Structure formats: structure tokens, C-alpha cells
Amino acid sequence: MILRVANGHCVACSDSGSNRTLATTQWFRLYTSSALGKDLNRLYSVLVLHGPNLNLLGKREPEIYGCTTLQDINQQLEQDATLLKATVTVLQSNHEGVLVDAIHQAQGQHDGLLINAGAYTHTSVALHDAIAAVSIPTVEVHLSNIYRRETFRHHSYIAPIAIGQISGFGADSYRLGLQALIQYLQRAS
């Protein structure tokens, strides 16, 4: 993503992320999957959770989070999911309990969880416990590189129970996270 910010507002944004990388990865996946005799027709269901303040993306501190809106991110994930043979169900909430409930309800409904817990990443034992309780393969994502920011953002309650974490690639963190999650699910099946 190329971002220009003037006076705290986005003045120009263009997305340089190409679908070429995804298409190449997809081709490689199909090739290797068939070689390994995996079920190519399996459709994976992924729950995408966005935590507090992420509804403000596009307007919120664009110099940190970029100009891409949450709607843009969700649309891109839906497109990527189709290519990756997956479906995404998306929920954003500013309330910890709503996110906990969604994680509980994901059990038996979704194969994987892609989560940007926002500030709850650094505070929520409840989200940690919910994810541990349902044991759904989880990938944690962050738009910003949380380790280059304030020290209170360096600790994640999600990381110890996630397969992995992707942090610092802007909106592409979600795309990379979805790809990694689907690949994990395919290998695990």
C-alpha cells in the first residue's frame, strides 16, 4: 500500500498489493496438494474477528493504520477466500464479551479463526481463555508492527495460543494471515 498523509488525513492511497503473488501461491498449493493426494474440494470456513476501534479504520490514525477501511479489508478477504477455497464470516465488535461469545459459537461452525483483537490483544485474559477453550486453529494479525510501538503493545495474550502472528504489513497482514491459516488447515487435514 502506498500512503500519503497530510495533516493527519489520507490524501492519496494506492494499493500495490498484487493478486499475482496469491495466484502463484494458489497454483503451487493446487500442484502440491494434488501431488499429496489431499482433498481439493474441501471448503474451509474461517471466522474473522476485528476488535475495538477497528471500525474506525480509514479515519483512525492513518499514519499508523493506513487509509484502508474495514469494509475494504473485508471485501478483499472475501475475494481471497474464494481463491483459497474458503469462506469468511466477519464480525467487528468494541465489546470484549461479544468477541468471547463469537469465539464460543465458532466451535463446530468454523475451521479457523483470524483475529485482530485490537487493544484487547494486550489486556484480555478472557479472549486468551476463550480461544484456548475452543481450540480452533487461530492466526493473530495486526496492521501495525506492535513490536516497534509502545512497550505496552509488545505483549500479546493471544500469541501463546495462536498458530502464529502476522504484524506490520497494514491491510496485507489480514491477507497473509488468511493464506497462512488456510494452508495450515489444508496441511492438517
Please choose, out of 79-87, 118-126, 131-139, 176-184, the segment that lies near ligand DQA by the rule CB under 6 A. 118-126
Give residue for cell 503451487. 28
In eight-state DSSP terms, residue 3 is E
Closer residue to ligand DQA, CB minimum distance, 44 or 65: 65
If one asks whether residue 175 binds ligand DQA (CB under 6 A), the answer comes out as no
Closer residue to ligand DQA, CB minimum distance, 55 or 87: 55
Give residue for cell 493446487. 30
Pairing of strands 138-142, 44-50: unpaired
Please choose, out of 28-36, 77-85, 100-108, 116-124, the segment that lies near ligand DQA by the rule CB under 6 A. 116-124
142 flagged as catalytic: yes
65 flagged as catalytic: yes
Residue from 33, 68, 93, 116 in contact with ligand DQA (CB under 6 A): 116
Nearest Cα to 164, choosing from 186, 189, 183, 144? Answer: 183
Give percent helix, percent strand, percent coil of the chain, each to the nearest 5.
50, 20, 30
DSSP 45-104: EEEEEE-TTGGGTTTS-HHHH-S--HHHHHHHHHHHHHHTTEEEEEEE-S-HHHHHHHHH
If one asks whether residue 153 binds ligand DQA (CB under 6 A), the answer comes out as yes
Residues 130 and 140 sit within 8 Å (Cβ to Cβ): no
If one asks whether residue 121 binds ligand DQA (CB under 6 A), the answer comes out as yes
Total residues at interface with ligand DQA (CB under 6 A): 10
Q: 44, 65, 174, 184: which one is catalytic?
A: 65
**Distances 180 to 50, 73, 113, 123 between C-alpha atoms, Å:** 18, 17, 11, 25
Q: In the bound complex, what is the minimum distance in angstroms from residue 170's beta carbon to ligand DQA?
A: 9
Closer residue to ligand DQA, CB minimum distance, 54 or 185: 54
If one asks whether residue 144 binds ligand DQA (CB under 6 A), the answer comes out as yes
- Catalytic site residues? 65, 142
Q: What residues make contact with ligand DQA under the rule CB under 6 A?
A: 53, 116, 118-119, 121, 142-144, 146, 153
